[in-house]
Structure 1
């Protein structure tokens, strides 16, 4: 049997794998709600009562539901059209946040009958500016504690490249926001497709000038790794808390390498790939 060539490029899923999602979203929602309750005396009494009942744990659940709605909308778009406009995901997230806040009685909404635009009414927990800022949480998510240090180590031996279902400007902004030291930033919109479509994995390898067998995908999601492995990539699973969306795939033994949740993430990955921390 012919030996596989050595790895040259590590591609990385980003949301959940490289940057945290659930805790930062809950933290920002919780902080914004409390600041609004303290500073805005014009909040409707009923809205104020409902907002006061929102514990941190409830905001944590709220954030998970918000993310879930966005994924559902994306899947529906893909099912209908075979693709998705990743720039429109920002609008999907904004619409989902508005819907959820209204459902919890925290936003008072009015639809303009002439334009069908939805406006936030006075008395809501958040005004329009606060709402729009919250809706862009996903542009400023923080890295996991091991992300930047681990990538610094991995960069000694490999090219490290994002490969995310997002659009390139968003990803470049997110990487710059947290100073994450990737050597290249790729996103699925560059390949006019979405993961797990082979066009994304194979297009990324071709763009880097390497063969698929010289690449690995690093991800906290087995479905993503399954798609990459089917294209000839190595599959490296880095477990992250609450990030696995399809736990049933654990029965398929997809990963070639597993970094457990209680290990040190990308730093542990660097060690497993022969790079020692100084």
Structure 2
């Protein structure tokens, strides 16, 4: 093993709680505080469907910030939020640039950096990732984005492109993610896989996010012992 690639949203950062916290700063939510989590979940539910539309060429290429703008409009309309200003919409989109890391994320990346190549492998656009990593203190050797390849995970072009850009063999690379659809696609390409169970990613809405049945090469519940855990992976 030479390189560890990491999914970001959910795997290393807590998008749900972070965005809920950010919503509280807007007056439009003052009288609807009980709906904050539902708003965030509804927004996230629009994520994969619109990525699929890009991947199958139903819509042209757009970076994730632009797709978040489209899906935000969908959710605002569906939940009857009216008179939302452009400034407020921009604020909401940029919340995805400032997400809090899980308590074990930063230390794990730092430890892996001492022995291996580390890289993000995210659907987040490059600027989003750079802002997020600065905010969350996540220090990777490399940043890889769907923006580099003009396709979104789980399209195999993303995994292949990242591996090729590091000039590595497929079986030298590991993907760490909290989403089995992502890991399944990486495994089909030939990467080793580590599933981390982020039990609180979706809160009480976990059952509304369906994923493939897939057994990763290694399954863990935290990154606290990552250097010892990866010894269980077959070289």
Cα deviation for residue 26 of structure 1 reads 1.3
Q: TM-score, normalised by structure 1?
A: 0.73
Aligned pairs for 1:48-127 (under 5 A) are 51-52=30-31, 54-56=32-34, 58-81=35-58, 85-87=61-63, 89-108=64-83, 126-127=84-85
Deviations 1:220-241 (A, max 9, x none): 0101101111111111001112
Deviations 1:170-202 (A, max 9, x none): 222221222211111111221232222222212
Contact kept? 2:2, 2:116, Cα under 8 Å: yes
- Shift of the 273–132 alpha-carbon distance from structure 1 to 2, 3 Å rule, reads same
Residue 5 of structure 2: aligned partner: 11
- Shift of the 12–84 alpha-carbon distance from structure 1 to 2, 3 Å rule, reads farther
- Shift of the 94–27 alpha-carbon distance from structure 1 to 2, 3 Å rule, reads same
Q: Which consecutive residues of structure 2, in runs of 5 or more, have no partner in the other structure?
A: none
Residue 131 of structure 1: aligned partner: 89
User: Is 1:187 aligned to residue 187 of structure 2?
Assistant: no
User: Residue 25 of structure 2: which of 9, 13, 32 is its match?
Assistant: 32
For the pair shown, the structure with the greater C-alpha radius of gyration is 1
| CA distance, structure 2, for counterparts of residue 217 and residue 138 of structure 1 | 22
Residue 230 of structure 2: aligned partner: 273
Contact kept? 1:202, 1:231, Cα under 8 Å: yes
User: Is 1:172 aligned to residue 149 of structure 2?
Assistant: no
Q: Which consecutive residues of structure 1, in runs of 5 or more, have no partner in the other structure?
A: 1-6, 38-49, 109-125
| CA distance, structure 2, for counterparts of residue 63 and residue 175 of structure 1 | 21
User: Is 1:234 aligned to residue 192 of structure 2?
Assistant: yes
Contact kept? 1:150, 1:266, Cα under 8 Å: yes
Cα deviation for residue 61 of structure 1 reads 1.1
Q: TM-score, normalised by structure 2?
A: 0.85
Contact kept? 2:55, 2:151, Cα under 8 Å: no
Cα deviation for residue 159 of structure 1 reads 0.8
Residue 122 of structure 1: aligned partner: none
Contact kept? 1:86, 1:165, Cα under 8 Å: no
RMSD of aligned alpha carbons: 2.3
Contact kept? 1:8, 1:159, Cα under 8 Å: yes
Secondary structure of 1:266 counterpart: coil
User: Residue 21 of structure 1: which of 15, 36, 57 is its match?
Assistant: 15
Contact kept? 2:125, 2:147, Cα under 8 Å: yes
Secondary structure of 1:131 counterpart: helix
